Amino acid sequence: MGKYKRRDSLYLAYNASIFYDELLRKADFEYGDDSDQTPNMDRSGWGLKLNDKGDKVILKNDRDAIIDVVLYGDAD
């Protein structure tokens, strides 16, 4: 995986098939169900499942500094 530049996108899906059916866009990685040929994320030692009612995603760099945050729904 290479470096990303400003305004680049990376799509992670729990189920890549459903993601595509809903958004007509392919996910870059799949982290839940192994539903198609989308590369599976390496989840050794951690888990990821976002809450449908609201949650947050925090993106950090290699020095553990926050570089971006996404909040949605009821997240605070």
pLDDT at 21: 96
Rounded to whole angstroms, the Cα distance separating 33 from 13 reads: 9
State the first-to-last Cα distance of the chain, in angstroms, to the nearest integer: 30
pLDDT for the residue 68: 86
Residue 42 C-beta-side C-alpha neighbours within 13 Å? 2
Token pair for 48: 């990821």
Please report the pLDDT score of residue 43 as a whole number: 66
Q: Along the 76 residues of the chain, how does pLDDT read in single tens digits?
A: 457 777 788 888 889 999 999 999 999 988 888 888 998 887 676 667 778 888 888 888 888 899 888 898 988 7
